[in-house]
């Protein structure tokens, strides 16, 4: 199984690279990579685009494979589809996580993997207090449905178009990503992990 961390965007609303924001002793990218190194995830891949050199300099590359998106400037949908196509030859399930989701913990990844092992042909989607969001686990047999994803399109249209192949897992944590200066302040003031 592959853990895929998307960290290629420009962070235009925040005005600085999200991946390099400090939360406690670690940057957001370091923390996200640590969360992805859960049991049953054999390969962790970090997808970079904007700020790729700065991000590469902040963490140990040990146990992390890096992939550079050529289409990152076109939006998250392009980065996602480009990554899916690039990894198609591996024919493995892919767990997709976003770098700006500091509320995601190791226990969430473990619950998603456990649900996948019980239902290996289902796309496993996280729901945080009713807000559907990555991490999302996509079995190989469904990855081709994302090969033509474009622009800033997230996963929402995917699960709305294919509810029959999707399974949601509910978590009690609130969905609160890190997109704005207000989000950054919130997370830095409330970080205790």
Which of residues 11 and 117 earns the better pLDDT score? 117
DSSP class of residue 13? T
- Provide the mean pLDDT of the chain: 90
CATH 3.90.550.10 at 2-190, yes or no? yes
> Residues near 47 by Cβ (< 8 Å), separated by ≥ 6?
4, 5, 6, 7, 8, 66, 67, 68, 69, 79, 83
Strand order, beta sheet including 131-138: 64-68, 43-48, 2-7, 94-98, 131-138, 123-128, 166-171
pLDDT score of 193 more than 60: no
The Cα–Cα gap between 173 and 127 comes to 9
Three-state secondary structure call for residue 131: strand
Q: Please state the rounded mean pLDDT for residues 146-174.
A: 90
pTM: 0.93
DSSP 8-state secondary structure symbol assigned to residue 50: T
Mean pLDDT, rounded, for 141-168: 90
Is the previous residue joined to 135 through a cis bond, with omega within 30 degrees of 0? Answer: yes
Provide the residue ranges of all domains of the chain, joining segments of one domain with +: 2-190
Q: Which range among 48-52, 104-108, 121-125, 143-147 shows the weakest confidence by mean pLDDT?
A: 48-52
pLDDT over 70 for what percent of the chain? 96
Percent pLDDT > 90 in the chain is 56
Q: Are strands 22-23 and 26-27 parallel, antiparallel or unpaired?
A: antiparallel
For the segment 78-112, what is each residue's pLDDT rounded down to a tens digit? 999 999 999 999 999 999 999 999 999 999 999 99
């Amino acid at each position: 199984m592959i853990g895929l961390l998307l960290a290629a965007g420009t962070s235009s609303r925040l005005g600085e690279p999200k991946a390099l924001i400090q939360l406690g002793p670690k940057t957001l990218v370091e923390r996200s990579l640590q969360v992805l190194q859960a049991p049953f995830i054999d390969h962790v891949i970090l997808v970079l685009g904007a700020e790729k050199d700065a991000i590469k300099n902040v963490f140990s590359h040990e146990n992390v494979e890096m992939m550079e998106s050529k289409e990152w400037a076109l939006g998250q949908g392009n980065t996602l589809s480009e990554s899916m196509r690039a990894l198609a030859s591996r024919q493995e399930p892919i767990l997709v996580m976003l770098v700006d989701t500091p509320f995601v913990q190791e226990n969430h990844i473990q619950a998603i993997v456990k649900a996948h092992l019980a239902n290996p042909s289902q796309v496993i989607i996280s729901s945080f207090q009713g807000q559907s969001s990555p991490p999302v686990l996509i079995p190989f047999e469904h990855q081709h449905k994302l090969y033509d994803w474009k622009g800033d399109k997230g996963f929402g249209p995917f699960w709305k178009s294919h509810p029959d192949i999707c399974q949601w897992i509910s978590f009690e944590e609130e969905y609160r990503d890190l997109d704005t200066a207000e989000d950054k302040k919130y997370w830095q003031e409330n970080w205790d992990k």
